[in-house]
Amino acid sequence: MISRIFDKIFHDVFFGIFVIITFIAICAIFGTNFFGVILAAVFLAISYAIFPKIHKKYSNISDKNLSIAFLIMLAIMLIVQFLLALNMISKPITDWHVINEVSKSYAINGNMEHIYDNLPYNRDYLARYTNNNGITVLFSFYYRIIYLISGTIPIEAPVILNTLFISASVVFCYLIAKKAFGNFYALITMLLCILFLPYYTYCTYFYTDSISMPFVILSIYLFICGYDSKKILNKIILFFFSGIFCAIGFELKGSVIIALIAVIVYMIYKGGIKKILLGSGTIIAGFLVIAIAFNGLVSSLQITDEETLYREQYPLTHWVMMGLKDDGNFDQADSTFTYRAGNYDEKKAANIQEIGNRISNYGVFGLINHFIIKANFTWSDGTYWISHHIYNPYNGRNFLHEFFLMDGNWFPIFKSISSGMQLCMLIMICVSLFSCVKKPRFDYITLMHIITFGVYLFFLIWETRSRYIFNFTPIFIIIWADGIINILNKLKKPPTLRDKLTKQVEVV
């Protein structure tokens, strides 16, 4: 009874919110990129024509044929990913540049003593932005291994790792779809993944958004395996490792905490006090093991000291404050404001006061309008902000950059296709949500909806931009597939009396 009430309220509210987000995205794209809306309509029409044929032929696809199709699609994806990635390598900029230089310094010297030698304007960066310790440690160790083996750190090294991480995310996405929803669902999910342009354009941009992605998706996959397992020991092991991988993802990108909260909410939603306690306790235990171990590792590396940390560290309130300005994007003036506010406690107090001022200045309707602007800024960009980060080619521009850079001759084509695909995804998410509004579904699609709602709420409050939700795109694609399959099920004609009689004769 409680589950049904929760399901009804949750899906009614989230469906309403997401319809508004989608409508605003359509209006925004229509105003700035008319062809994006046209292409969305074209893509939907093509889907309407093609997917029913796929459904008719492959709705009962066998495990063997599905595996063959999956491996072929994955191989094609990997080939295209590496071709694009290795021909579009870009010089790192901003935070990406700092992390890369710090990691290379550790790799060459074997310690953190000289990490700022080539970064005179970014001294104490890791004390200020402790949220980037995870990716710094990962690349420091990765570069160190490569340096000890080869005596150099080729620019291709992080690009290759990043490409493999994105591909691994696609594999786990496929496995979730197969495990939770069946073979045909997995086939549609994989088709959408192979068509999703950001899984190619992001390969050259090795930063937290893509590096954290496989850990998010693997954590969810292990949770589903654990929840479905009939053996207590298997449950405990799978839940524990789900927590471990979620923690690794969290250390790489803080928003991954959404996945941990979502699975706990889902277990409460499903009910059963023993399941809730066993699942939540084991997952949290795995999470804490990694969190504690990582803090010890960071301390042992001597990235910074307590005095510098207290003087420089930005409190979490900084990103909430920044999220309350304009479209919620990074703002240099806000960063300077926090930097000059004093020590950690003084920074936090200044942020809280400014947060109060901004909320007061907005008023109720102004705050609602601000949230609408933020949601549109976050969800309507099908390029996921990639062109802002790869504009400085490592080996000079080539014809590919003409598509993917904002000043490229063919960039409008890339922008329109990306916008059209993004709108298709948003519309299909609405369809999936609507299916749960009409009829409660107590399967794992509700977990995917809870995660997506968590992402929406988090970036409504936090600093935001479209690339910040990139590491959750496999979840969105699973919901996208669900929307398509819901429509396919509606398009199926009910069997006629003749069909039923024919089937009875065949049985006899």
pTM, two decimals, is 0.94
* In-domain check, residue 312: no
> Rounded to whole angstroms, how far apart are CA atoms 464 and 385?
11
Q: CA nearest 58: which of 47, 69, 71, 74?
A: 69
Q: How far is CA 226 from CA 173, 241, 242, 275, 362, in A?
A: 16, 10, 9, 11, 45
H or E element that contains 285: helix 273-301
Domain count of the fold of the chain = 1
Nearest to 198 by CA among 451, 430, 387: 387
- Domain extent, residue 442, equals 1-89+380-492
| Domain contains 34 | yes
Q: Considering the domain boundaries, does residue 131 fall inside one?
A: no
* CA 230 – CA 226 distance, rounded (Å): 8
> Dihedrals φ, ψ of 91, to 5°?
-70, 130
In a domain, 266, yes or no: no
Q: Is residue 367 part of a domain?
A: no
When computed from its CA atoms, the radius of gyration of the chain, rounded to whole angstroms, is 24
Residue 233 lies in a domain: no
**Whether 382 contacts 420, CB under 8 Å:** yes
Each residue's pLDDT expressed in tens, for the chain with a length of 508 residues: 667 787 888 888 989 999 999 999 898 888 788 888 899 999 989 988 899 999 989 999 999 999 999 999 999 999 999 999 999 999 999 999 999 999 999 999 999 999 999 898 889 999 999 999 999 999 999 999 999 999 999 999 999 999 999 999 999 999 999 999 999 999 999 999 999 999 999 999 999 999 999 999 999 999 999 999 999 999 999 999 999 999 999 999 999 999 999 999 999 988 788 889 999 999 999 999 999 999 999 999 999 999 999 999 999 999 999 999 999 999 999 999 999 999 999 999 999 999 999 999 999 999 999 999 999 999 999 999 999 999 999 888 999 999 999 999 999 999 999 999 999 999 999 999 999 998 888 789 999 999 999 999 999 999 999 999 999 999 999 999 999 999 998 887 555 444 444 444 444 4
